[in-house]
Chains A and B, each alone.
Chain A
Amino acid sequence: MKILVALKQVPDTETKVKVAPDGKSLDPTDVKWITGPYDEYALEEAIRIKEAGGAEVVALTVGDDRAKEVLRNALALGADSAVLLKGQPSDDPLAVAKMVASFLEGKGFDLVLLGNKGIGGDNAAVGPMLAEILGWGHANVVVKLEVKDGAFLADRETEGGLERVAGPLPAVVTAQKGLNEPRYASLKGIMAAKKKTIEELDGAGAPAVLSNAALALPPARPDGRKIEGDPATQARALLQLLKDEAKVF
């Protein structure tokens, strides 16, 4: 069993996002970079499959040197090897999916696990696109996964319920919160990861079709208003405002 976990480096959810002067990209100063939270579920699931029945887990990301941090972390958590596809992490999910697909070609992977979306872009597209390019089956937004005898059984979150999907391997599965509880790296794992090498491959050759034209933050929230007067007056004024301005009545 050979599993590829595709990870994306994303800004920490607590980062205060700023738009760069070009008006269409993220200002990288003061941004703390983390592994995409949904990708963490994907990685944890791969490690659990490995622990349960034996599997080779390869972690992969697309990006520059900075993205190696994500791979280092994956190695510390239990990935057997790591691959950096060098190239600018593109705004175009199709370009990313093509890069990953061409890496996978002929390598005999049985399963690709990845987060159902990267946070920030929220396209939720790379997983399904990858499956389409490869001609593999896929299940996305998965909260429970079983893999055995060359097939998978996956519970997907759907509106108001669960859907169970079955299919043969190889397949692409994207992880949703609830799939598992990701672990912390052990000290032993961290030290071992530092001794492993990260394979660097040229990820170019899949030109982006899409690019960001503009990036804007939500408008700033207007200042609050203070209602003055004695309690009765305040209550009356508040009621009036709720009726006239907020139109809740």
Chain B
Amino acid sequence: MYPILTDDQLAIQQAARDFAMAEIEPGATARDQAHEFPGGIIRQLGEMGFMGMMVPEAYGGAGLDTISYALALEQIAYADASVAVSMSVNNSVACAPILAFGTEAQKQKYLVPLASGKEIGGFMLTEPDAGSDAAAIKTRATPVEGGWVLNGSKAWITNGGVGKYFVTMAVTDPAQGKRGISSFVLDAAQPGFRAGKPEDKMGLRSSNTVMVSLEDAFVPQDALLGRPGEGLKVAFGGLDGGRIGIAAQALGIGQRALDESVKYAKTRKTFGRIIGEHQAIQTYLAEMEARVQAARLLTFKAAAMKDAGRTCTVEAATAKLFATEMGSWICDRAVQVFGGYGYSREYVVERLYRDVRVTTIYEGTSEIQRMVIARELMK
């Protein structure tokens, strides 16, 4: 396997797999059907160190590298992608920006509980009318005695109804355009933070995604993350890591769909033989395997570059684009391999098909990834 995994990385992968298959997988279908947030599992993942994997131990994290993170996330997503998204958001876009931009005091106050799993975190950039074009956000931060109050709406907020600390972007100086946006760490435990009902989503139905309405939500002076006007720098600073995380999530779902398809192809019989002996099914399985392998290499390459401290914008975008598009394709073919059963809630590929779909949309749509890649090429 490239890159060759170290013993440490293999041990992390094994620990993630053992926990995922023993504790997460068994209830995944039931949680999906009941839209039940896996709070107990997230807490356990936190205790084990999976919620702040790349945060140094001094700040309550596990102090591991990006490759270990991708390996673990893949295993968790293999069992239940809804759990993986909560984990990914907490690691990639809550912990990472506070680690990168936070002051020592902010790290002690916000990062330690998030990385050690005592609290759940999230990220609030997207609004009903501003998604891919982040600079178009309208949430306003108005200075008041001792800090700011935030007013506006934030959309599609993962962990929005269950989290405590949210890295939040708001406009501090409308005259400055995108240089008038600042980042804050917002404490959700206040009346001005109103989480809506969980969205009625196609997939990831046991993850918590809500609209958040901010009505004079207070952030103290010392909760400003980074410098005023540099909010988008904070927001985009974690994008590469976030994209690697979602690539790993799609990889986990894709690998599961492939494994389920192979298992089914070995038992289901048509025309007197197992369907795995029919050439049409074989070509699907072979193509799935090829794409999973390719996606894994791209994801690991981006992670390895990030670990080496190198710029990995193109690699992370490429991994995210390819892994999520291949994940969607694989799940589509998996449903085809299962035939009518694949369209039934009784079989896991039906859930995988729904769960994987959002991976080409969130943390930068496939269209945005192509834009990012092309822009780098044209430089």
* Interface residues, chain A, with chain B CB atoms under 8 Å away: 183-188, 190-191, 194
B11 lies within 8 A of A194 (CB): yes
B15 lies within 8 A of A187 (CB): yes
Chain B residues near A183: list those with CB within 8 A: 47
A184 lies within 8 A of B44 (CB): yes
**In the complex the two chains form, what is the Cα distance from A85 to B79 in whole Å?**
38
B48 located at the interface, meaning its Cβ lies under 8 Å from any Cβ of chain A in the complex: yes
Partner of A190 from the list B12, B23, B44, B53 (CB cut-off 8 Å) is B12
Known A184-B44, A187-B50, A188-B62: A194·B8 in contact at CB below 8 Å: yes
By beta carbon, the residue of chain A nearest B57 is: A188
By beta carbon, the residue of chain B nearest A193 is: B11
B133 located at the interface, meaning its Cβ lies under 8 Å from any Cβ of chain A in the complex: no
Chain B residues near A187: list those with CB within 8 A: 12, 15, 48-50, 53, 62, 64
Interface residues of B in 57-102 (CB under 8 A from A): 57, 62-64
Chain A residues near B19: list those with CB within 8 A: 184
Chain B residues near A188: list those with CB within 8 A: 49, 57, 62-63
B15 lies within 8 A of A185 (CB): yes
Min C-beta distance of A162 to chain B, whole Å = 29
Min C-beta distance of B25 to chain A, whole Å = 14
Chain A residues near B18: list those with CB within 8 A: 184
18 new A-B contacts, CB < 8 A, other than A185-B48, A188-B62, A191-B62, are A183-B47, A184-B19, A184-B23, A184-B44, A186-B48, A186-B49, A187-B12, A187-B15, A187-B48, A187-B50, A187-B62, A187-B64, A188-B49, A188-B63, A190-B12, A191-B11, A194-B7, A194-B11
Between B11, B19, B47, B50, the greatest number of chain A beta carbons within 10 A of the residue's beta carbon is seen for: B11
- B23-63 vs A, Cβ < 8 Å mask (1 yes, 0 no): 10000000000000000000010011110010001000011
By beta carbon, the residue of chain B nearest A183 is: B47
Interface residues of B in 242-278 (CB under 8 A from A): none
Interface size counted on chain B using CB atoms at 8 A: 18
Between B15, B19, B64, the greatest number of chain A beta carbons within 10 A of the residue's beta carbon is seen for: B15
Known A184-B18, A184-B19: A190·B47 in contact at CB below 8 Å: no
Chain B residues near A185: list those with CB within 8 A: 15, 48
**In the complex the two chains form, what is the Cα distance from A186 to B60 in whole Å?**
12
**In the complex the two chains form, what is the Cα distance from A188 to B44 in whole Å?**
14
Chain A residues near B49: list those with CB within 8 A: 186-188
By beta carbon, the residue of chain B nearest A72 is: B11
**In the complex the two chains form, what is the Cα distance from A185 to B44 in whole Å?**
11
Min C-beta distance of B1 to chain A, whole Å = 20
Chain A residues near B48: list those with CB within 8 A: 184-187
| Chain A to chain B: the 3 pairs with minimum beta-carbon distance, closest first | A187-B49, A187-B62, A186-B48
Between B23, B44, B48, B53, the greatest number of chain A beta carbons within 10 A of the residue's beta carbon is seen for: B48
- B270-305 vs A, Cβ < 8 Å mask (1 yes, 0 no): 000000000000000000000000000000000000
Chain A residues near B57: list those with CB within 8 A: 188
Min C-beta distance of B139 to chain A, whole Å = 35
Chain B residues near A186: list those with CB within 8 A: 47-49, 62
By beta carbon, the residue of chain A nearest B6 is: A194
**In the complex the two chains form, what is the Cα distance from A236 to B316 in whole Å?**
68
**In the complex the two chains form, what is the Cα distance from A162 to B215 in whole Å?**
58
